[in-house]
Amino acid sequence: MDIVKARTMPGVMELLPGDQIAYNRVRDTIRATFERFGFLPIETPVMELVSVLLTKSGGETEKQVYFTQSTGARAQGKDPDLALRFDLTVPLARYVAEHEPDLAFPFRRYQMQRVYRGERAQKGRYREFEQCDIDVIGRNDLDLRFDAEIPAVIDQLFTQLDFGPFTIHMNHRKILRGLFAALGIEAGERQTTVLREVDKLDKRGRDAVLATLSEDEYGLGGPLADKLLTILNTRGPGAEVLATLRGLDVSHALLDEGIAEMAVVVEALKALGVPADHWCLNLSIARGLDYYTGTVYETLLDDHPELGSICSGGRYENLAGHYTKSKLPGVGISIGLTRLFSKMQELEIVSSSDSTVQCLVARMDPELDHETIALGAELRAAGINTQVVFDGGKLGKQMKAADKAGIPFVAILGPDELTRGSVQVKNLRSGEQQDIPRAEVGARLLAQLGETS
C-alpha cells in the first residue's frame, strides 16, 4: 500500500496530549468563570448558510471565508450555499433572531467554539482558532451596569488564569466622539480617519502620530492635533479621569452623556469589588469604528504589552439588524484562545507538566495482574484518574515514563504488599514513598491530590 504523508493543513494548532491538557485547563477555567457570572452556554453549527452568513456586501470578511459543499452538491455544479463561521458574533446574531421567542432577556450567553478564516498563512495567524465569547443582549434596552460586569468577568478570569499582572483598559465611544465633536472634528469619515491614527498611539508613539495628524490631509492643524492627543493621552483611575474630563475647557452634549454613562459603570465596578489596580480609563482606546457605541474594553498583560489586547469588546447598539426588526443592544467580549495559548506557551507562562492521569498502577509481577487491575478499579471508584500498566517493562522504566508523562503518583502492589494488605505509593514529585493499607489508598491519594492542586 502506498504511504501518504500524515500532515495537517498549514495555519492550524494541533497539540500533543500534554499540551492539550494544559489548553483544556485554560478553557475549563474560562468556562467556569463565565458560568460563575451566570452566562449560559450555546453552541452553533460550524456551517451557516451563505445567504445568512454574508449579509454584508463583500469587503474583507468575504475574502477570508471557507465555502463548503458536499460531494453531491458539487456534482450539480452549483456555487456553495454553505460556509464556515468566521467569528461567533454573526452566529450569535442569527441565533438570537431565530430563537428570540424562546429566550429570556437580558440574554447572557457564552460560546466557546472554533472559527475559520482563509488567511494567508503566517506566523501567529491561524486559519482555525477557538474563540471564547460572552455577551449580554437586551431587548430594546440594556442596563449600564452590565457594562461593569464584563470587566468583572475579565478581572476574575485573568486572576484565575494567573498569566501575570494585567490591566483592563476601558473607554467610552460617546466620550471619544463627544471630544472630537467638541474640538470641531466632525462625525463621519473625518473622525474615522483621525481615530485610526489615534489607535496607533501605543505602537507609533505620540510624536509620530502628532506629525501625521498635523499633515494637511487631516486638516487638524498642529495646535488642535496637539490638544487632541494631550487629552487622549489621559489614562488613570476611573474617578480621576472622569474628573479630568469634567474640568476640560471643551464641552459637547455627547461628551456629557458619555461621562455620565461611564460614571455609572465606574460606580458599579466599585460595588463589584474589581481591584482599582486591575483597570483604568484610557481615552486612547478606540477599538475599531463601526460596531461599538458605548463602553469599550482591551486587556493587556502588564509585562507583555507587545501581545496587544488579549481580551477585547464593548457595547453595541443593535446585534441582529440583518435578521430581525427587534432592537437588541448588547455588550460583550471575546478571547482568541488559540493565539493566547500559543503565546503563553512561547513565553513559558503555561507548561504541560501535569497529566490528567493522577495515579499509575505499576506492574511488578505479571502473576498479580488481576490484583493490579482490581486496585485500579478501586482507585477509580474512589475518584482517582487511574491508569493500569499491563506491559511497561521494568519498574524503573514504568516510573520514569510516569514521571515524564506528568503523572504524580505510582501505586505498586507486589507479593509482599499483597500479603500485608497494603500498597506502596510513590509521590514522584517529592520522591517520598509510603506503605498504605489498601483500603485507605484511594482516600489518602485523594487528600494528597487536593493539597497539591
Cα separation, 414 vs 409, whole angstroms: 16
Report the alpha-carbon distance of residue 322 to residue 92 in Å, rounded.
12
Q: Closest CB to a second copy among 247 and 273?
A: 273
CB of residue 279 vs a second copy: minimum separation in angstroms? Answer: 15
Interface residue with a second copy among 157, 228, 320, 340 (CB under 8 A) is 320
Query: Looking only at residues 95 through 154 of this chain, which bind a second copy when binding is defined by CB under 8 A?
Result: 95, 97-99, 102-104, 106, 108-109, 114, 116, 118, 128, 143, 145-146, 148-149, 152
Binding to a second copy (CB under 8 A): which residues in 15-74? Answer: 15-17, 20-21, 24, 35-38, 40-49, 51-52, 55, 62-74
Of positions 243, 260, 271, 276, contacts a second copy by CB under 8 A: 271
Q: Give just the sign of the alpha carbon dihedral 16, 19, 25, 26.
A: negative
Based on the shown chain and the rule CB under 8 A, indicate whether residue 5 belongs to the binding site for a second copy.
Answer: yes
In sequence order, the 6+-apart residues with CB closer than 8 A to the CB of 196 are: 289
Closest approach of Cβ 1 to a second copy, in Å? 6
Residue 126: exposure state from Cβ atoms within 10 A (0-12, 13-18, ≥19): buried
Q: Please, what is the minimum distance in Å from the beta carbon of residue 154 to a second copy?
A: 14
- Can residue 317 be called a binding residue for a second copy (CB under 8 A)? no
CA dihedral of 319, 320, 322, 326, whole degrees rounded to 10: -120
Interface residue with a second copy, options 196, 203, 404, 420 (CB under 8 A): 404
- Choose the binding region for a second copy from 193-201, 210-218, 250-258, 388-396 (rule: CB under 8 A): 388-396
> What is the C-alpha separation between 410 and 389, in angstroms, rounded?
10
Name the residue with cell 492550524: 12
Which residues in 67-106 contact a second copy (CB under 8 A)? 67-74, 80, 82, 84, 93-95, 97-99, 102-104, 106
449 binds a second copy (CB under 8 A): no
CB of 65 to a second copy, least distance (A): 5
Sign of CA dihedral 374, 377, 382, 386: positive
Q: How far is the CB of 22 from a second copy (least distance, A)?
A: 10
Residues 6+ apart with CB under 8 A from 235: 169, 241, 280, 281, 282, 283, 284
Map grid coordinates 491561524 to a residue: 126
Please pick, from the candidates 202, 226, 256, 369, the single residue that binds a second copy as defined by CB under 8 A: 369
Strands 359-361 and 312-316: unpaired
Grid coordinates given for 87:
467569528
88 versus 231: smaller Cβ distance to a second copy: 88
Minimum gap (Å) between residue 68 Cβ and a second copy: 5
